[in-house]
Structure 1
Amino acid sequence: SLCVYLLSLTGLWTTDLAKDTILWLFFVGFMTLGKVNKIKDDRDYFKKALKKNFKLSLLSEFLVNFYTFSLAVELIIVPIITLISVTIAFSEKDSKHKPVHKFLTNLLVVFGFVILFYIIFQFAGNPWGIINLPNLRGLLLPLILSILFLPFVYGLSIYMFYETQLVVLKIRLSPELFTYAKRQAFLRFNLNKDGLSRWVKRIHTDTVSKTEIDRLIDHVKEREAIEKNPPKVDPALGWSPFEAGNFLSDEGLKSGYYDCVYEDEWFSSAPSFKLGDKWSDNKISYYVHGTDQVAKRLELILAVFTPQDNLDLHKRFCIIAARLYSKALNELISEKILLAILRSKSITVNKGNVSVSIRKVSWGNSTGGYDVYFTIECRSTSA
């Protein structure tokens, strides 16, 4: 309502746009609010939202609203397109229906082009029938409302994120410490959701003083500053843990925060890359181990739940392992190592101060599942 009020003051909104406003509210506004709790998982959400509103699809939607088919044609087309769309949404959930999903998606694209060409043909015959100020305002209204709505959505996402994190703090801390921690969180982290989440994870029930709370905040701030400007690491000692964490980002295996797990043992991991949609599907994981300044061991693990698919799985694993090898050692992986991965053969290859090893660990269960470890480790004891 505030957005509409501001637009009405400038003359961009009038009562004849009430229908368009209501449609935007139901099809964009409410849907955006329904996804607000997922914004924290997508750092580029607002950038994507702005791009989406600037797409040329706005023009095609505008033309569609002014050029309609006859009732008989629409009674045929609308149910068909609706059925195809619903089937696409259903088939997308299961990889077994991938061929059907691909076929129907292409079919829908063909439908779209046919309709678009028809609209362009009609528009070319009578362009001035719709090029006027009221129609232009109707075209721009969804875009303007979406842009004005984004700050509210962002603020709401920040509020909900803080509420979620503060619930955790309330459980772990005494009432007095919770009040202090909440105030420090707002003052020190502001809009920094990553820093806040990282700090909350480090607070435990044994955090019994305000000094400890401040120390943990300082630690998170210090680590964030280092990550923004990471120090150079001598290749003879290992790898930069921050660079190593990004070695496989193109493969969907970007590691998270590099942090201390026990005394001088530091660690980061990437969310497992599942090779399927089920919880029991085969997956690939990536881990970085080392000290606070240097990554010493890079570990890629293939978990095989269904050995009958092992050839394709090992080929995929070979591709990712080869990329990790080239990133870590600045050279192409050897055929000997690739064959060992394909055959699940345990070997160790020494390359100066670096060892490259492959080992298979059977689970000993009825399915015959196993893990394949591909490890690159710097044996230097310094740093």
Structure 2
Amino acid sequence: MLVEVFNTREIALGMWLIIGLVLMLCSKNLRDGLGGVLKSLFVWNLMSWLLAMAVYISAFIYLFYRIGLWTPDLLKDTVFYVLFSATVSMFKANKISEDKHFFLEMLKDNLKLGILMEFLIGQYTFEWWIELLIVPLAVLLAGMQAIAGNDTKYAAVNKLINSIWMITGAAVIYHLVNSVIQHFGDLLSKAVLRQILLVPNLTLVFIPFLYILSLRMVYEEQFILLSFKLRDKKLLLFAKRQALWKFNTDLHGLKRWVNRWNLLHPQTREEILATIHAFKAQQQLEKVPPVVLQQQGWSPYIAKEWLPDEKLKPAFYDPVYEEKWSARSGELKLDKDWSGNGIKYSVIGTQLAADQLELRLAAYEPKNLQELCTIFKDRVASLYQIATGTETPLKLMNAIVNKKNLRFRQGIYFITLEKST
């Protein structure tokens, strides 16, 4: 009966999961940790959304059933999707507002041609005892490769592991091609097509639910922050209502507005409305940046986009204290390790004009300082030419290479290169 429902790979994975769970239960520390995890899962806030997800997906399953896209034999695959895809995506919902490509990447992952290959690999498995051996072998090889991959002294081991992966891959492809040839007629059935389309269909209808969940999580987080800044409960309720009404799905705007409370400290309804009005005016200003005279500096809303690296594009130009405004980028990492070597870009000035551009290189015990300087020099040259409209002076490039301090004036611009330790 079990073999009729689950394939050999699923049975093998299930057996190893049971073995792992038994081993965990044999250890008191692991038992306590597992108990804590289970306790954190069974809180009403989380359970209510899991229940809502189950009801939501069930409604679409019924719709799919009515139009012929779902049949009872797909129940197992549906449950697997809910447990290992939908639920995992729910736990990532708090990051959706920070990743503008989240849903696009989610669609790409579930609508790519590779999904057919994944289906075939899952459809035509090996004997159960082979699958049972593959699981620990794959985990062992992956662990060894993670350790040996970045160390030259393990090059021979890494080469051997790659060879094992290639042989294993060739065996899987041979088995797959042979199985497809033998069962080619079965692959052309409507049942197989429904099974292949199940995950893409469920993903498409699940995206609106995830979006609503992400909205709710961001608003809840920001409202908690507001509660620390507003002790008056009636005023807090007013601020929450205004946030929902004025910002709607503009989550970035909501976060920026809440963050400005540290500077503005509105304590009346009129002041709260004034901060929202000022922020909305700021957003309009960002859409149509004003012209800035050369003597005044640069338009901050344009200057923050000058460098080509996505990591060096500051998200927003916001007030930091009194009349001072700034936009600070993330960090462009220069090494794959944990050295912390990287470049950051800042635009500093007033609300309407930036009068300072700053490019900062952080090098903490770098392995190749000369290479880092070359990368930094290219970014400096690019920024200098755009900001001043002139070619980058050779003395500035030489000072970077030689790691020397330098100050000079170029027309109306003052350029400073400063090394600090």
Mapped partners of 2:388, 2:116: distance in 1: 50
Structure 1 residue 302: deviation in Å? Answer: 1.7
Q: Distance in 1 between matches of 2:94 and 2:164?
A: 34
Q: Which residue of 266, 270, 280 maps to 1:207?
A: 266
Segment of structure 1 superposing worse, 112-121 or 123-132: 112-121
Question: Post-superposition shift, 1:12?
Answer: 1.8
Aligned equivalent of 1:186, options 240, 244, 254: 244
* CA drift at 1:118: 5.1
Aligned counterpart in structure 2 of residue 252 of structure 1, from 306, 311, 319: 311
Q: Are positions 1:164 and 2:221 aligned together?
A: yes
Name the Cα RMSD after superposition: 3.1
1:185 deviates by 0.5
- How much has 1:20 moved relative to structure 2? 0.8
- Structure 2 distance, partners of 1:220, 1:105, is 55
Secondary structure of the structure 1 residue equivalent to 2:409: strand
Q: Which residue of the partner structure matches residue 197 of structure 1? A: 255
Helix, strand or coil for the counterpart of 2:327?
strand
**Which residues of structure 2 form unaligned runs of 5+?**
1-57
Q: Residue 166 of structure 1: CA displacement?
A: 0.3
Mapped contact 1:66–1:130 kept (Cα < 8 A):
no
The reply on whether 1:284 has 2:328 as its aligned counterpart is no
Whether 1:317 and 2:381 are equivalent positions in the alignment is no
Question: Which has the larger displacement, 46-55 or 205-214?
Answer: 205-214
Q: After the TM superposition, which residues 60-79 of structure 1 pair with which residues of structure 2 at under 5 Å, given as runs?
A: 60-70=117-127, 74=131, 77-79=134-136
- Counterpart CA distance in 1 for 2:253 and 2:85 is 30
Are the structure 2 counterparts of residues 10 and 99 from structure 1 closer, same or farther at C-alpha, using a change threshold of 3 Å?
A: farther
Query: Is 2:76 the counterpart of 1:19?
Result: yes
Deviation at 1:116, TM superposition (A): 4.0
Q: In 2, are the aligned partners of 1:165 and 1:200 still within 8 Å (CA)?
A: yes
Return the match for 2:279 from 216, 220, 244.
220
The whole-number CA distance in structure 2 between the counterparts of 1:233 and 1:113 is: 63
Q: CA deviation at 1:170?
A: 0.8
Q: Is the 8 A contact 2:307 2:383 kept in 1?
A: yes
CA drift of 1:97 comes to 8.7
CA contact (8 A) 2:266 2:275 kept: no
- What is the TM-score when the length of structure 2 is the normalising length? 0.76
Q: What is the CA–CA distance in structure 2 between the aligned matches of 1:96 and 1:227, rounded to whole Å? A: 47
194-203 or 25-34, larger mean C-alpha shift: 25-34
- 2:186 and 2:192 in contact (8 A); partners too: no
AA aligned to 1:304 is A
**Contact 2:326 2:347 (8 Å CA) reproduced:** yes
Distance 2:158 2:249 in 1: 41
CA contact (8 A) 2:339 2:366 kept: no
181-190 or 241-250, which moves further after superposition? Answer: 241-250
2-structure distance, mates of 1:331, 1:276: 31
For the residues of structure 2 that align with 1:149 and 1:97, how far apart are their CA atoms?
Answer: 45
> Contact 1:257/1:268 (CA < 8 Å) preserved in 2?
yes
Contact 2:103–2:207 (Cα < 8 Å) also in 1: yes
1:84 maps to what in 2? 141
The aligned residue for residue 375 of structure 1 is none
Contact 1:17 1:138 in 2 (8 A): yes
What residue number does 1:35 align with? 92
Range with greater deviation from structure 2 (33-42 or 65-74): 65-74
Cα distance change, pair 275–14 in 1 and its aligned pair in 2 (3 A) = same
2:300/2:347 contact within 8 Å kept: yes
| Mapped partners of 1:186, 1:106: distance in 2 | 57
Farther-moved stretch of structure 1 (158-167 vs 298-307): 298-307
Name the structure 2 match of 1:128. Answer: 185
Q: Which amino acid aligns with 2:343?
A: I
Which sits farther off after the overlay, 65-74 or 205-214? 65-74
Give a deviation string over 1:223-281, Cα, whole Å, max 9, x none.
Answer: 11121222343445432212211122515211132122334322111123344578773
Q: Distance in 1 between matches of 2:300 and 2:154?
A: 41
Counterpart CA distance in 2 for 1:241 and 1:113 is: 55
- % of aligned pairs identical? 34
2:200 to 135, 140, 143: 143
Residue equivalent to 1:177: 235
Following the alignment from structure 1 to structure 2, what is the Cα–Cα distance between the partners of residues 91 and 201? Answer: 42
Q: Which moved more, 1:30-39 or 1:260-269?
A: 260-269
- Alpha-carbon separation, structure 1, partners of 2:164 and 2:249: 44
**Partner residue of 2:60?**
3
* Alpha-carbon separation, structure 1, partners of 2:228 and 2:72: 50
Indicate how the Cα distance of structure 1 residues 95 and 166 shifts in structure 2: closer, same or farther if over 3 A, else same.
farther
Whether contact under 8 Å (1:281, 1:306) holds in the other structure is no
Partner of 1:377: none
Q: Which has the higher helix share?
A: 2
2:397 match: 338
The 3-state SS of whatever aligns with 1:271 is coil
Moved more, 71-80 or 244-253: 71-80
Unaligned 5+ runs, structure 1 = 362-369, 371-383
Equivalents in 2 of 1:66, 1:86: separation in Å?
A: 27
TM-score by length of 1: 0.83
Other structure's SS at 2:289 match: coil
SS of 1:59's partner is helix
Which amino acid letter does the alignment assign opposite residue 224 of structure 1?
Q
Secondary structure of the residue aligned to 1:252 is helix
SS in 2 for 1:360: coil
When residues 203 and 24 of structure 1 are mapped into structure 2, their CA distance, relative to the original with a 3 A threshold, is same
Work out whether residues 259 and 266 of structure 1, in 8 Å CA contact, stay in contact via their aligned partners in 2: yes
Whether the 8 Å CA contact 2:329–2:345 is kept in 1: the answer is yes
Residues 43-62 of structure 1: CA distance to partner in whole angstroms, max 9, x if unpaired? 11011111111111111012
